[in-house]
Amino acid sequence: MTTFPLRSLRLRPGEEHRDTVSIEIEPFVLGGLSYLPMPPSVEAALVIQRATTGDLLRLALTSSFHGSCMRCLEDAACEVSVDAAEYHDATLGADEDLGCEYVVEDRLELSLWARDAIAEALPDQILCRSACAGLCAVCGKNLNDEPHVHEEAPVDTRWAALGALRDELDVD
């Protein structure tokens, strides 16, 4: 896990510290599918600005993730750009809501912060292409490779009595 020591900064209000840090990114599991960061470590821009009562923290990075398409299970990749900001009130007796959950004992937990920011920026579905047709619900073939349709699905015999009743009532 990548951390940044805040205690070593000697900033006065109005000053800022800029740094490029290498952050380890953990794999994500979405919908039961695993997505690996490529590369597992990314360069991120970190800016810390000292305010009168605390610090304004900013993190910007871009990362790529590789895994399976959520529709057809072929290889898929997506790129995520993050520009996250947090405020941490460092004064004694400050409201707990003004503290940043990523600051722990004067250390900034960069890996955890990056992971949470990436999770918010990930698309709802990671697809091999935007128009992915997915898998056939009947035979399981990849509809991108073999587009096809099946004849009318056989009626489940357990519904036959209801079908007969529908025909009797002449309802569609």
Check residue 140 and give left, alpha or beta (phi > 0: left; psi -120 to 50: alpha). Answer: left
Q: Which pairs count as long-range contacts for 133-138, CB under 8 Å and 24+ apart, including other chains?
A: 133/71, 133/72, 134/71, 134/72, 135/71, 135/72, 135/73
Query: CA-to-CA distance for 55 and 11, rounded, in angstroms?
Result: 10
Percent of the chain at pLDDT > 90 equals 55
- Per residue in 118-170, pLDDT (tens digit) is 999 999 899 999 999 999 988 899 999 999 988 876 677 888 888 888 888 87
107: which strand partners? 5, 104
pLDDT tens column, 72-95: 999 999 999 999 999 888 765 666
pLDDT score at 83: 96
Pairing of strands 103-104, 107-109: antiparallel
pLDDT at 50 exceeding the cut of 80? yes
Using only C-alpha atoms, the chain has a radius of gyration, in whole angstroms, of 26
Q: Does the structure show a pLDDT above 90 at 47?
A: yes
Amino acid of residue 77 = A
Q: Residue 44's pLDDT is what?
A: 96
- Quote the pLDDT of residue 96: 66
Higher pLDDT, 171 or 111: 111
pTM for the predicted model, two decimal places: 0.76
Res. 2: pLDDT tops 60: yes
**What confidence tier does 172 reach under pLDDT thresholds 50, 70, 90?**
low
**Mean pLDDT, rounded, for 33-42:** 93
CB-based contact 163:169 (threshold 8 Å): no
On average, the pLDDT of the chain sits at: 88
Given CA atoms 94, 97, 100, 103 in this order, what sign does their dihedral have?
A: positive
Closest CA to 119 of 29, 44, 1, 45: 29
Residue 60 reports pLDDT greater than 80: yes
